[in-house]
Amino acid sequence: MIWVIGNVDGNSYKEPFSKGILARSLRVSSIGLNQAYEIANDIENNLIERGISEISVDELAKTIARYLDTVDSGFSKKYERWRTVRKSEEPLIILIGGASGVGTSSMAFELANRLGLKNIISTDMIREVMRKIISKELNPVIHKSSFDAYESIRTPAIRVDAIIEGFISHVDVVNVGIEAIIERSIKEGISIIVEGVHVVPGFIREDLLNQGNVMMFTLIVEDEEMHKQRFYTRCRQPWVKRSLEHYMDNFSTIRKTQNFLIEQANIHHNPIINNVDFRQTIDSMVDEIIDKFGGESNDGTKSI
């Protein structure tokens, strides 16, 4: 057996070498699952051939980077820069917003898998807790969907557009919960992905966004027909209880909320990703994260 020796706060620990853990850690470099397992297998065989029974985490990481370099220098650069992000003392907090149906929950799940993150929270769940605390009488808008919240605004719309007014009132309440999650994650050092329609650029406190490794993305689906299809695919799953009708009846207002999200993302210089191909979406998010927090690449450029 090969032992991997690590160090936490000056205390060393050892654990058995795991091909599964190694393979998963390679996924961040956009290496497919099969190739990642083949590489992990090769690296293990190489260690056995060299008669190594103990290896430090740093030495193992160097061995992996050297191996990846022989396959594709892009892989090794990405791998090493991701390690810089992982070694940061600050947790990674990724916020993924987007209008209903564009794929925030699906992409959060895929990204967590790619990065090996264990915590995902949906803003719909934060809202659900709030609905138990705040009565419909006190705050009717959060008891609606983000896109039809305008139907419950008590005071007449002050802004020109009632749909956006309703959306803002709805998001504003849930945002309090999002900020609490970010505060707690920073305080406890927990890396997390927060996803949902309530993640809107310009709403979350700047001082929180500037702390630690916080990164926000806005997902969109530019093509109307494709966006519509997403609701069909979601409702096709037998366990999904959301009614297709609710989203189809409100499709034009959902698109309006997407336009508002795009405007906000542009004003606040947040990355916008057109979520067409899921691999490309995840690759773009990973690249943006590594570019922002992974330091300079070896050749001095910021792009990967």
Ligand X SMILES: O=C(O)[C@@H](CO)OP(=O)(O)O
Ligand Y SMILES: Nc1ncnc2c1ncn2[C@@H]1O[C@H](COP(=O)(O)OP(=O)(O)OP(=O)(O)O)[C@@H](O)[C@H]1O
Residue 116, Ramachandran bin (φ over 0: left; ψ between -120 and 50: alpha; else beta): left
Question: Which residues have C-beta within 8 Å of that of residue 68, sequence separation ≥ 6?
Answer: 26, 29, 39, 75, 76, 79
Partner whose binding site includes residue 278, from ligand X, ligand Y, none (CB under 5 to 8 Å by kind) = ligand Y
Q: Which of 228, 234, 255, 292 binds ligand Y (CB under 6 A)?
A: 234
Q: Three-state DSSP class for 59?
A: helix
Measured distance CA(189)–CA(19) in Å, rounded: 27
For ligand X, the binding residue among 38, 69, 124, 151 (CB under 6 A) is: 124
Size of the site for ligand X (CB under 6 A): 7
Q: Quick one: 19 or 131, whose CB is closer to ligand X?
A: 131
Closest listed residue to residue 100, CA positions, set 183, 42, 153, 170: 170
SS (H, E, C) 235-279: HHCCCCCCCHHHHHHCHHHHHHHHHHHHHHHHHCCCCEEECCCHH
250 binds ligand X (CB under 6 A): no
Alpha-carbon distances of 37 from 33, 41, 57, 256, rounded to whole Å: 6, 6, 19, 44
Q: Is 247 exposed, middle or buried (0-12, 13-18, 19+ CB in 10 A)?
A: buried
Q: Does 233 bind ligand Y (CB under 6 A)?
A: yes
Q: What is the pattern of x (binds ligand X, CB under 6 A) and - over residues 197-236?
A: x---------------------------------------
Answer for which of 91, 97, 177, 196 binds ligand Y (CB under 6 A) is 196
Which listed range, 8-16, 97-105, 178-186, 296-304, lies at the site for ligand Y (CB under 6 A)? Answer: 97-105
- Select the binding partner of residue 175 from ligand Y, ligand X, none (C-beta < 5 to 8 A, by kind): none
Q: Which of 18, 63, 106, 284 binds ligand Y (CB under 6 A)?
A: 106
CB 275 within 8 A of CB 63: no
Q: Mask 151-190, x = binds ligand Y (CB under 6 A)?
A: ----------------------------------------
Residues facing residue 121 across a β-bridge: 194
Piece of 63-71, 139-147, 201-209, 279-287 that binds ligand X (CB under 6 A): 139-147
Q: 3-class SS at 121? A: strand
As given in the structure block, the two tokens for residue 5 are 């020796």
Q: Determine if 275 is a binding residue for ligand Y (CB under 6 A).
A: yes
Binding residues vs ligand Y (CB under 6 A): 98, 100-106, 196-197, 230, 233-234, 275, 277-278, 281
Q: Which residues are near ligand X by CB under 6 A?
A: 100, 124, 145-147, 197, 242
